[in-house]
Amino acid sequence: MNLASQAIVTASQMQAIETLIFQAGMPVASLMEKVALKITQRLTELYPPEPYKRIGILAGSGHNGGDALVVARELHHQGRQVKIYQPFTKSKPLTRVHGCYAQSLGIPFVALADLGDCDLLVDGLFGFGLDRDVIGDGAIAIDTINSWQIPVLSIDLPSGIHSDRGNAMGTAIRATHTLCLGLWKRGLLSEAASPYIGNLERIGFDIPEKSIQEILGDRHPLWRIDPLEVISDRLPIARSAIAHKYDIGHLLLVVGSERYGGAAILAALGAKATGVGMLSIAVPHSLKPLMLAQVPDALVIGCTETPSGAIASLPDLDWQKYQAIACGCGLSLDAGQIVEQLINSEQPLLLDADGLNMLAAMGKVRINQQLPNRNSATVLTPHWGEFCRLFPDLREVERLAALQIAVSQTQSTILLKGARTAIASPSDTMPRSNFPADSQVWINPESTAALARGGSGDVLAGMIGGLLAQGMTAKDAAIVATLWHSQTARWLVRQRTEMGVDPVTLAQNLLPFLQDYPSKIVKT
């Protein structure tokens, strides 16, 4: 694992790592030069001189402002028309020196209003570690800039964003592009920061791995999923040249109702895309003709149904022939005791949608008694609303902390859906101070609002089920499916716009995405 590209850190952890670097002999001024030159290089790639000739620099009083001033100097040497706005009278010594040199070069220091005709603004007002609300001239500057229709590139994180929580501290820059410096800041990968960060990239500056390791230790709990690494390592799934269908996994989907037949089809399409060897689908008997027409290669099991068209009961099945079970998509709450029956099975089990709602109806005590005692892995895939129904006492707890507590209580892998989907699996280790349990949390860094439509989650559930049936661990199946699902959607958005990525199109393009996939991922 590449620690620098995948570790997600708090402000205090980042400060401690930088302190080690400086104690080892790296001059602060040299590091600022190195970082600012890397920022300038990336800015030049993203925003070439034409049509971004006029650049406004927002320089704060700290080292984030110092970075911005070095960028201003380099852009001035490129021949760009640079103007600097510095709202604070006092600065750190190194930042003040760079400001003096910028003045000696003839770069104008101007009032905020004079930046209104710029083609691009570079935000270096506040860096990581901001711990109080932005007020006064800083707040006025941020609100004014947000009212302009000018692209903004933020250095490290948008000014005003709390580097650990991701929330706006009173107000915050709404950046077009954010260049995170060094290691990923926890706040940048939170849902709260999503409206502010724009396109997010990391600018590495060769932090020694021993420095990272010394501060984070061997059991660091929070990691960013690397799209290139996951897909390269895991997809497509290798199989023997002499394999037959029963060697490649047999998945049972328990899905569908008269009202939600489409969800069953979408889950089946997601499962098929994983290449699972055999797919059985248990549906209400009245849905059987539809399923056979849509998924002719599946074994469709017709079940007795309720007057409302939901599964009333499952027939006698040979559970041992299934390597995994996925339940819930389109099931409806009228399906009664289906979930309880499946919890008592010996197979890896995924619960989604109404499978989760039925689980919630069982109550906290039974959930915390039955799930930890299963002999195989359990995967729960709630969005926040479903999560709160499952764990109502965690409703007011911070999202990642609540996820950790729920994993500890249920001993289940939980995939908490959202703009920043978070995945955690149970661990046998003891609790730590900064997290309720010492299992790792993996954050999917990139998604798209194109997935915010009914049926997208059904495709994902089928994918996870298909990967589980082929022998992936619960954690790996959840990570791989989440990454594959979101990256395929992002690829389709670039071709079709967000309106063009319906769940059927998404499922049909999961396999085409894997063809020459490195070119389809924007490396960050």
Query: Which residues are known binding-site members for (6S)-NADPHX?
Result: 63-67, 127-133, 156, 263, 330, 383, 458
CA–CA gap between residue 333 and residue 241 (Å, rounded): 43
Residue list for the binding site for AMP = 417-421, 457
Phi and psi torsions of 314, nearest 5° = -90, 145
Total residue length of the chain: 524
CA–CA gap between residue 192 and residue 367 (Å, rounded): 29
CA–CA gap between residue 159 and residue 146 (Å, rounded): 11
Output the CA–CA distances (angstroms, integers) from residue 281 to 264, 291, 333, 417, 505, in the order listed: 8, 8, 18, 24, 21
Amino acid at 191: E
**What is the CA angle 427-235-227, rounded to 5?**
70
Output the CA–CA distances (angstroms, integers) from residue 126 to 57, 61, 66, 67, 276, in the order listed: 13, 8, 11, 11, 50
Q: Is 88 exposed, middle or buried (0-12, 13-18, 19+ CB in 10 A)?
A: middle
Long-range contact pairs involving 419-428 (C-beta distance under 8 Å, separation at least 24): 419/191, 419/194, 419/447, 419/449, 420/189, 420/190, 420/191, 420/194, 420/444, 420/445, 420/447, 421/447, 421/482, 421/486, 423/475, 423/478, 423/479, 423/482, 425/473, 425/474, 425/475, 425/478
Residue list for the binding site = 63-67, 123, 127-133, 156, 159, 263, 330, 383, 417-421, 457-458
Residue 65: count other Cβ atoms within 10 Å of its Cβ: 29
Q: Is the peptide bond before 236 cis (omega within 30 degrees of 0)?
A: yes
CA–CA gap between residue 180 and residue 158 (Å, rounded): 9
CB 192 within 8 A of CB 166: yes
CA–CA gap between residue 205 and residue 37 (Å, rounded): 10
Residue list for the binding site for K(+) = 64, 123, 159
CB 71 within 8 A of CB 40: yes
Phi and psi torsions of 336, nearest 5° = 65, -125
Q: Which two tokens stand for residue 67?
A: 């970075």
Strand partners, 224: 443
b/e sequence 409-436, b meaning 16+ C-beta within 10 Å: bbbbbbbbbbbbbbbbbbbeeeeeeebb
Phi and psi torsions of 350, nearest 5° = -110, 135
SS3 labels along 405-419: HHHHHHCCEEEECCC
CA–CA gap between residue 30 and residue 123 (Å, rounded): 21
CA–CA gap between residue 338 and residue 353 (Å, rounded): 13
CA–CA gap between residue 251 and residue 275 (Å, rounded): 11
